[in-house]
Amino acid sequence: MLTRKGKYGLKALIHLSHLPQGQLALVNDIATTNSIPKKFLDAILGELRNAGFVQSRKGKDGGYRLARHPDEIWIGDVVRVLDGPLAPISCASATRYERCHDCDEASCQVRRMMMDVRRAIAEILDHRSLAQMRDAKESDLSLPSG
């Protein structure tokens, strides 16, 4: 499940993606516009900066901006930075695999199902850019029926 940290981080990146290239946004403006607690947002933006998604400048004319074009920021990468692996259980993770101690992985039906879940999540998040997420209409995001 996407945590508040992940959700707020994505909301902040979408906010920054609406700015003209090079323009900076104040943390307080991002927080107020998106109903995010400022202290929490400060920490999130620090992680996004360390991961290379945003740049910051201190001082009177300081703030945050995207470090890359929104077409070059993949949602799956952002979620992994802020929330960790996409897999619902560690034995199904492609990036942070940990063996389960309570089952035989070769025959575990739970693991097999959760690997399918991880693959489905990754298929969407790893192929959707920040620009696509920002520009999507509700009809673009609906799940296929059937």
pTM of the model: 0.86
Alpha-carbon radius of gyration of the chain? 18
Q: Give the contacts of 87 (CB within 8 A, at least 6 positions apart).
A: 93, 94, 96, 114, 115, 117, 118
Same domain (yes/no): 43, 13: yes
Per-residue pLDDT band for 61 (boundaries 50, 70, 90) equals confident
Burial of 47: CB neighbours in 10 Å, binned 0-12, 13-18, 19+: middle
pLDDT of 83 over the 90 cut: yes
The mean pLDDT value of the chain amounts to: 90
Phi, psi of 72 (to 5 degrees): -105, 5
In a domain, 76, yes or no: no
Total domains, the chain: 2
Same domain (yes/no): 22, 60: yes
Q: What is the mean pLDDT of residues 105-126?
A: 89
Q: What pLDDT score was predicted for residue 146?
A: 47
Which domain does 38 fall in, by range?
4-66
